[in-house]
Structure 1
Amino acid sequence: MTTSIEDAAPVARQRRLRTEIPGPVSRELQERRSNAVAAGVSSTLPVYVTSATGGLLTDADGNVLIDLGSGIAVTNVGHSAPAVVDRVRDQAGRFTHTCFMITPYEGYVAVCEALAELTPGDHAKKSVLFNSGAEAVENAVKIARTATGRQAVVVFDHAYHGRTNLTMALTAKSVPYKHGFGPFAPEVYRVPGSYPYRDGLSGPDAARIAIDRIEKQIGGDQVAAVVLEPIQGEGGFIEPAPGFLPALSAWCRDNGVVFVADEVQTGFCRTGSWFASTHEKVVADLVATAKGIAAGLPLSAVTGRAELIDAVGPGGLGGTYGGNPVACAAALGAIETMRTDDLAGSAKRIESLVLPRLRALATETGVIGDVRGRGAMLAAEFVKPGTQEPDADLTKRIAASCHSQGVVVLTCGTYGNVIRLLPPLSLSDALLDEGLAVLEHAVRTESRA
């Protein structure tokens, strides 16, 4: 008998498993999907969500899952945050679209004003709004090339910047992001970054290697932009060694190169501050943001030095949906929530609760080579005991075990051997504790298998 998703129970306040994961209704929906949705769109966990609140997801079978992924660092304020819902409802009731390039509206301006206030640095700033992180990064490159009159763009090993043609060129990992999709945009150069667990280098030493490679292979006077994530996301939640970012920023400043911080995943209180680059007091020339900016509605931005942004003439930047009024309303609601609920402080609290447990688990099991991260952007890198050899199979099994018990965790990393935790910053300590207990059990069980 076909079961309607309308039969699912209302959202609960705790994890609850009514069926196996995925349940029969989700499996039925998955069959429909296989006949209608492109195979190239994959899903980590094929449960079909009918409602969500805070840090919980309710699926079509009435199962309630703890969400430690936040839709990949998007729902920082939690699912269905009241200030976001109220503003979205109000805006949608008034109008949903005019195109800012045709007839503008205040919400777009208000978001840009908020970004000027929140992003690092006290210089004059302007912003332009788009839909996705990839669009933001691509437009940051356009702005840098126009402002400098140069073409070369420098990126780093393990980087991820998006799926458009240009941002695929900027992204390091081939499968699944690049394989078969070339040729890619030219004048993109990749250099080593800082991966303390694997390279053993100090930040200044890693920066010297990168800068030496740039100067020898490209020439500082040919580089339009250096684009990097303050903490690399898809590449494995790699936090560079102290001193790496400041050294690169100083080199860019000395050579007239635009320093672009890709804060798409790290931004909006995720790492315990509004933006991760402030950890070492680095002030980027341009900041690309998305994900957490609008709590799930499609919105992104490039914010930066006014003289750089304004180097592009009228009509050179924009898009039909960029800065959509409903998405702008969501962003203003999300920013309000982050401020009033001190979600940067909540991220620090999450770090203080999670890191000790992951480190203890590493010592106990011997299969975690590195525990790292900041705020509520945390990761464990799994290796074969006594080595640094990545163990992607174990990582997959651990994630699958968590999923079967109703806890959503995500994997990442160049070698596919990192489990990353991105809980909503509003997640209660009780739910966080329960989710971690499931993860700990999975690691202990699967590491003995």
Structure 2
Amino acid sequence: MRAPEQDGMDTATPAVVFKLDPNVLHHGGLGLIRSLGRAGVPVYAVHEDPLAPAAHSRHLRGRWWWRPDPGDAERINLGLATLAERLGRPAVLFPTDDAAAIHLAEHGAELRHWFRFPDPPPELPREVAGKFTLQDICRELGVPTPRAELVRTRAEAAEFAAETGFPLVAKLATPWTSGGRAKVRSTSILRDRADLRALGQAWEEQRSGLLMLQEYVPGGSGNDWFVHAYRGSGGCRPAFTGVKLRSYPAHAGLTTLGRCASNTVLRTQAVELLRRLDFRGIADLDFRFDRRDGSYRLLDFNPRLGAQFRLFRDSAGVDVVLAAYLDLTGQPVPEGLPPVGRRFLVENYDPIGALGYRRRGELGLRQWIRSVWRVEETAWFARDDLAPFALMCGWMGARALTRRIAPRPARVVEPPRYRARAERVAGSGVRQRRRSPYAVKEGH
């Protein structure tokens, strides 16, 4: 399970995992911790709950329990400065959600004394993460994308539906602003007027967030693609392409089963888009192949790590996280052959998502078993890091008992509270808390 070691790789610089989204079951952050931790990098992370599964990974050197108000930029920077003082030396900072990536682009200048992170144009992460502002960018650059429109009332929604026809796709225009309290999913498929009425009622009850309606591009097996890439000082390298085989909710949510697949046309299109935007950092882009005209239509642009990034690791052992770490610490990024055929499974959501495909007559039990039988990478289970999987099962069981699928909103926690990882002292047989070797002394 240990990542292949890079020749001469310097792992002395710490890495910090930073997110503002209150999703306690975010598996992308856990993948980042494992990827760098196995390579020998000292990894620290911010968590919203002491029992967050990723907080108990054996690959963490230390953790903070912190839930700041995403709208308070000054307090967020003060909290990150507190983290930096605890570390005592510069660290690479990895945002793992849209809100964190947007914050660093717009308010991160004063943090560069302590942290190393990419420097895209300050306004760009917000523009590409916004569902409707992304549409404007695509129109300006001539990038294929489905027709879409912002709606502010039920009447406007009904008018767009009448013009475009069903099914439709509904998206929260700025999903990172919901703070985990949204009554409406960030992405939903509306198959008829009844779905539209139900969504309109829930949206009005939520009383926050703009809603975008989008043309539904006909899908099918093998039509949903994604690109994970890192663009840094040496250009866009690596850039991986893969196919979304299943999602939760079905056809409209996060990837629960994905497969590596080479697609030179799509890779070239995505790399060129990142170059024209002058985007810098890790990006996760979702496309759908439109059989009507043979185009790849851009559906989403996430200006940060994609949760399924561990699907991709080239022959040199490099994924987008390791590439970013090497580049931001001034080290060369080795180039290897891209992976093909590798599969990635999200164990807690794929069985639930598979039920949606089964109800549509698209998936049988035997077919589902065959699809997951030889998965090379899983989101939670790892033989060298079992605690996160066990805690994930506990959280999912608790949600099932309380009939909750979304995380319970948590209170704001200030300031960041540090906890070192419990480690076994060699030869003693005793577990103890070890203070970070990079901590600064009181008064310094």
* TM-score above 0.5, yes or no: no
TM-score by length of 1: 0.30
Structure with the largest fraction of strand: 2
